Amino acid sequence: MQAVFNSKSIAVLPFLNIGSDENEYFADGISEEIINALTKIDGLKVTARTSSFFYKNKSLDARHIGNELGVETLLEGSVRIIKERVRITAQLIRTDNGFHMWSENFDRELTDIFELQDEISLLIADKIRENFGHFELQEHLVASATNNIEAYKLFLKGRSFQLNWRLEDINTAITYYEESVVIDPLFADAYVGIGWCYGILASWQYIDHKDGIAKAAFYLDKGVGLNPTSHVGYFGKATISFWGNWLYNEGLSYLEKCLNINPKYTEALEAKSEILTALGKFILAKTTIDSALEINPLSPNHHYTKGNIYYLQGDFDNAIISLDVSLKIDPTFVLAMELKTACYIHQNNYSSFIRYIEINKHLERPNLCKKLFDLVNRSNHFENQNIGVAIDVKNENSTHLPWNFYILIHEDKNSALNTLKHHTELKTGQFINFSNDPFLAPLRQLPNYKDLVSELFSSTVLPSNIEKGKSNNSETLFEGEELNDFATALENTMTNSKRFCNPELSLKQLAYEIDLHPNKLSWLLNNHFGKNFNDFINHYRIKEFQQLAILPENKHITLLGLAYDSGFNSKTVFNTFFKKETGTTPKQWVKANS
């Protein structure tokens, strides 16, 4: 894979730990702090930690790494702690020819670590500026987070465990963070770390939700109160708002504060994309995660997030492409494995599905997946395998997809709907995308389901700055009540005049009818309604077909004829979009609703 190239750019590779293995966390912490410092420079592309650390303990040519990350320079070095002193070597390398632009050795007291990180970061930035062009450079890039080196060491240990993303390691991280704040009660970053850990544990039901969220909020408030410029603190607050409480606007508000402080923080961009995805704002979500991937191209999570956007749109081919990239980076990433399995189920791709199940030993619930394949596709491939599965949907606290719940949908829709309501009340993380999850298609015709969606989403309207994205084109902006007025005019045109029945209808024609510039209409469709022009029009055509198909006087007309009467001019487009919109085929839908 090849990332977007930028001449004023750098990747900081993990510094090599020389000496005791127990200091590995410290060398990693030095590398991460320099990355964080350099990201403060406007105009300098800095590869995010996840992608830089992909090369940890790997001996690869600088040109190879530069091509993969799309950077002009690499920083590499080593760290050695000897009693109370630290020795750091660092060298800046061009990725086009392997030339060492700069190198230096540093020998300081451990207590001077923050000043040393600042000095190295400024030297690196200055060399890049000298060689590749102008950008503004601040007087300082690193501020002292604590005056106590022992508290800082404990913080770095906690951080190293937190980034493993394993339940037991998150609990260990909390222990180190707590020890850190005992030594330095004013250490803001450590409080933020505790809050983030409790928030994740509570959001995914590993600890009592109410108690965990309360603890998370307490520690995050404490950390942000001590350091109001902590972008990680606002990111933590956003995590609680979104994953913990499903408060979409509040989560976006905190993320905007985070990104205003650090626009290159890709975890925040990913979180923003996740919120937009949950709200069905897929175009904005994809644009946001693409921004994250530009500076963090080797993040398996980011590629998974992009794959999930495609998946929730019913674009399973592109979803698999993104998930394969994620799994190439991390072959043990179970979340991506399970979503890829789900794609094969929805594609009714038995050969790929069974081959993937058989070779993938990391998949946690193969029997549930097999049973679900038959249920979704009304097949009997696994009928004679005597698959025994225990259904436990009330306590489904997996960190992955809720397979038990998916099976229940096909066995008892009403029980499934009650289970869904239960998990929305608990704000269970696995269900946050339920409103667009393809597995829930059988529930979407139930009146109580629609009430549930309305209750959760009817009051959620994206802030105008989020809706507008980062566009600088004034033609795409609406003033005052214009947006709502034109949205209403568009919906009235669709409902009253049924212009969608014209198979030749174009965006320009529709824009002319509501007296709106085509550029503005395109923006309105994509950013307000969350659909492109074709998806928007075909949605109304499907509704028209459904109304025509259940009328007794139309029984003599073929389904394809009714589709053409509704504005479709292609059998393939009609069948594909109908399955995407309803989760079933036209024939099955008509049989169920006649």
Cβ neighbours around 388 below 10 Å, total: 7
Q: What is the mean pLDDT of the chain?
A: 86
DSSP helix/strand/coil, 52: helix
Which of 465-469, 557-561, 575-579 has the lowest average pLDDT?
465-469
Specify burial of residue 439 (Cβ count, 10 A radius: 0-12, 13-18, 19+): buried
Give mean pLDDT, residues 223-238: 92
pLDDT at 471 > cutoff 60: no
Which of 155-159, 245-249, 469-473, 502-506 has the lowest average pLDDT?
469-473
Question: Strand ranges (DSSP E) for 372-426?
Answer: none
User: Per-residue pLDDT tens for 531-563?
Assistant: 767 788 888 999 999 999 999 898 889 999 999
Which is more confidently placed, 375 or 526?
375
- For residue 225 the two structure tokens come to 């109160």
Give mean pLDDT, residues 492-507: 85
What integer pLDDT is reported at residue 399 of this predicted model? Answer: 47
What integer pLDDT is reported at residue 100 of this predicted model? Answer: 86
pLDDT at 482 > cutoff 60: yes
Cβ neighbours around 249 below 10 Å, total: 17
What integer pLDDT is reported at residue 492 of this predicted model? Answer: 87
Q: What does DSSP assign to residue 19?
A: S
DSSP helix/strand/coil, 58: coil
Cβ neighbours around 250 below 10 Å, total: 16
Specify burial of residue 565 (Cβ count, 10 A radius: 0-12, 13-18, 19+): middle
Query: Which domains does the chain carry?
Result: 6-144 (3.40.50.10070), 473-593 (1.10.10.60)
pLDDT at 262 > cutoff 50: yes
Rounded to whole angstroms, the Cα distance separating 354 from 377 reads: 14
Give mean pLDDT, residues 473-493: 72
Positive or negative torsion for Cα 448, 450, 451, 452 = positive
What integer pLDDT is reported at residue 202 of this predicted model? Answer: 86
pLDDT at 419 > cutoff 90: yes
DSSP helix/strand/coil, 36: helix
CB 203 within 8 A of CB 211: no
pTM > 0.75? no
- For residue 419 the two structure tokens come to 């289970």
pLDDT at 68 > cutoff 70: yes
pLDDT at 511 > cutoff 90: no
